[in-house]
Amino acid sequence: MSDDDLTLTRRERIGFIFQAFNLLPTMTARDNIALPLAMGRKKIDDAWFGHVVDMLGLRDRLSHRPAELSGGQQQRAAIARALITRPDIIFADEPTGALDQDTSETLLRFLRKCTDELGQTLIMVTHDPAVAQWSDRLIEFSDGRIVRDSDRQLVR
């Protein structure tokens, strides 16, 4: 695979939810969320965009820059950016780390819906056992080694 093909694959088929948010400080929340689409010269699906920002409670914060958002709002904007392209795979590093319990549960339900209805794969790193319970498969690591690997029924 060429470097260009690899770049396209990452941009169009993989969504990243970083623990550190990585929002661009000079861009509004709207522009940060739409960035993967703009980079790929893709048109925004207004219905999907609206669904994602409404689910994450960001509609009234879209014109704000990251410095004007709380930590939880920045996290939600980063999550929306990862989901906006409807990627095949989502890598999430502590996606609920900066969120309150209610918002965390809303997000986890939405991610569950993405995997169930859109066929997306979610690979999530978390230290929170309650968040881990949402998974279909749990792989537990300790000191760099797998200490447990379990397929199980989803606990909701």
How does pLDDT run across 28-70, given as a tens digit for each residue?
Answer: 999 999 999 998 899 999 999 999 999 889 999 999 999 999 9
- What pLDDT score does 156 carry? 44
Give the residue carrying structure tokens 């392209």: 85
Q: What is the mean pLDDT of the chain?
A: 89
- What pLDDT score does 153 carry? 52
154 vs 110: which has the higher pLDDT = 110
- What pLDDT score does 152 carry? 59
Predicted TM-score (pTM) of the model is 0.82
Give the residue carrying structure tokens 């969320």: 33
Say if residue 86's pLDDT is above 70. Answer: yes
d(CA 67, CA 48): 26
